[in-house]
């Protein structure tokens, strides 16, 4: 079953601020990428150790420090010390499975998002925590695994496409968030296609299997809504509150992200309504079919049971049964049978069963 509980509780009773990584431990090495850029230049380099990476930061440019893999506590702690990040924030970066949120600290903004992807093998939605720490001309991004989701943004920085090189780290944060949110649409489209296929299948031949799939799909949408809903609030706060680290002009772009989130939430609700409608449709189709099956049974039984009774009567072995000796007795019985059948057919017609 899809787990609805986050894995936070596994540290029940432990002191807050204890830095233990919680979540599925990935064996992959932590990869640190530093990307310094300004309007006219950019340097990009992958590092093995955090010391080298921190040394590579050029404070005269905008820096994007991306960390793939959050299981190495030592690295995160070192980053925390270097950038003066609160222990609670570090804890949230470690303990993946956080609810999306925005937290304002004195010298930085902390944002948690969920990157969703369809798990091909298990036909389920997978979730990965992305943490962003936004400082004045620096953005730290933490991902659970190494992925190429942010590759198009790196490409835009490299090629200087669009406005990204002319803008500060808040715009970079916007670009990352926008990418994460846009990926939800991809998932929604896959779900939409699956629902469409299910609905066509349902209309052609409603089977119990369709119901199981509808049930499973509803569960996935429940999970999706639980993931997306808090993001709405996060982005809404970014556009509503005047955060010192977000330039008002970048705020305009976040308004755009907010529109997308609203559309995603709306679409999830619509899908849930559609699935509910399909379940209702399935049940009423089933009722209709049961009703039809019953009618067939009833008609057959109602026609044959009485005439079988008549045949039974004249199969009795009584000594004195005058009808048996009549010349036209047998023909009369057939006549009676035909009469009964005709009457019953008239009755069914009257009842609109045929």
- Scan residues 26-85 and list those touching a second copy (CB under 8 A): none
Is 319 a binding residue for a second copy by CB under 8 A? The answer is: yes
- For a second copy, which is the closer residue by CB, 56 or 109? 109
- Applying the rule CB under 8 A, the residues between 76 and 115 that interact with a second copy are 86, 88, 98-99, 101, 103
Q: Which of 219, 232, 237, 247 binds a second copy (CB under 8 A)?
A: 219
In the window 112-151, what residues touch a second copy (CB under 8 A)? none
Q: 68 near 18, Cβ under 8 Å?
A: no
CB nearer to a second copy: give 83 or 304. 304
Shorter beta-carbon distance to a second copy: residue 86 or 146 = 86
CB of 53 or CB of 157, closer to a second copy: 157
Distance CA 8, CA 96 (A): 8
Q: Which stretch binds a second copy (CB under 8 A): 28-36, 115-123, 132-140, 319-327?
A: 319-327
d(Cα 319, Cα 328) in Å, to the nearest integer?
19
Binder among 6, 23, 201, 251 for a second copy (CB under 8 A): 6
Q: Which of 12, 17, 15, 180 is nearest to 94 (CA)?
A: 17
Sorted by sequence, the CB contacts under 8 Å of residue 22 that are 6+ apart come out as: 7, 8, 10, 11, 94, 95, 96, 97
- The upper half-sphere exposure of residue 273, i.e. CA atoms within 13 Å in the direction of its Cβ, equals 6
Q: How far is the CB of 290 from a second copy (least distance, A)?
A: 5
> Rounded CA gap, 179 and 144, in Å?
16
Is 154 among the residues that bind a second copy (CB under 8 A)? no
321 within 8 A of 245, measured Cβ to Cβ: no
Told to check if 252 binds a second copy by CB under 8 A, we report yes
Q: Which of 105, 103, 115 has its CA nearest to residue 83?
A: 105
Using the rule CB under 8 A, give the single segment among 31-39, 45-53, 136-144, 296-304 that binds a second copy: 296-304
Interaction residues for a second copy, span 272-291 (CB under 8 A) = 273-274, 277-291
18 forms part of the interface with a second copy (CB under 8 A): yes
Tokens of 224: 């999706």
């Amino acid at each position: 079953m899809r787990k609805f509980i986050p894995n936070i509780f596994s540290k029940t009773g432990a002191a807050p601020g204890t830095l233990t990584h919680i979540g599925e431990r990935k064996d992959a090495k932590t990869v640190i990428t530093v990307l310094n850029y300004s309007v006219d230049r950019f340097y990009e380099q992958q590092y093995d150790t955090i010391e080298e990476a921190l040394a590579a930061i050029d404070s005269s440019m905008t820096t994007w420090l991306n960390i793939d893999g959050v299981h190495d506590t030592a690295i995160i702690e070192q980053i925390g010390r270097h950038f003066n990040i609160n222990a609670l924030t570090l804890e949230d970066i470690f303990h993946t499975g956080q609810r999306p949120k925005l937290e304002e600290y004195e010298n930085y903004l902390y944002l948690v998002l969920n990157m969703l992807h369809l798990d091909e093998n298990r036909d389920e939605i997978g979730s990965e925590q992305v943490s962003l720490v936004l400082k004045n001309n620096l953005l730290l991004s933490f991902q659970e695994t190494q992925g190429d989701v942010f590759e198009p943004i790196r490409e835009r920085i490299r090629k200087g496409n669009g406005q990204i090189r002319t803008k500060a780290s808040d715009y970079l944060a916007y670009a990352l968030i926008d990418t994460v949110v846009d990926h939800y649409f991809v998932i929604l489209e896959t779900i939409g296609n699956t629902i469409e296929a299910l609905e066509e299948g349902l209309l052609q031949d409603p089977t119990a299997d369709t119901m199981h799939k509808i049930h499973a799909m509803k569960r996935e949408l429940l999970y999706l809504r639980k993931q997306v809903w808090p993001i709405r609030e996060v982005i809404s706060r970014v556009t509503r509150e005047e955060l010192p680290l977000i330039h008002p002009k970048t705020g305009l772009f976040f308004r755009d992200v907010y529109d997308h989130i609203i559309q995603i939430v709306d679409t999830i609700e619509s899908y849930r309504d559609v699935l509910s409608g399909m379940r209702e449709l399935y049940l009423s189709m089933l009722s209709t079919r049961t009703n039809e099956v019953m009618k067939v049974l009833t008609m057959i039984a109602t026609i044959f049971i009485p005439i079988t009774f008549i045949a039974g009567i004249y199969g009795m072995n009584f000594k004195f049964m005058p009808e048996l000796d009549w010349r036209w007795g047998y023909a009369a019985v057939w006549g009676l049978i035909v009469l009964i059948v005709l009457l019953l057919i008239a009755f069914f017609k009257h009842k609109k069963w045929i």
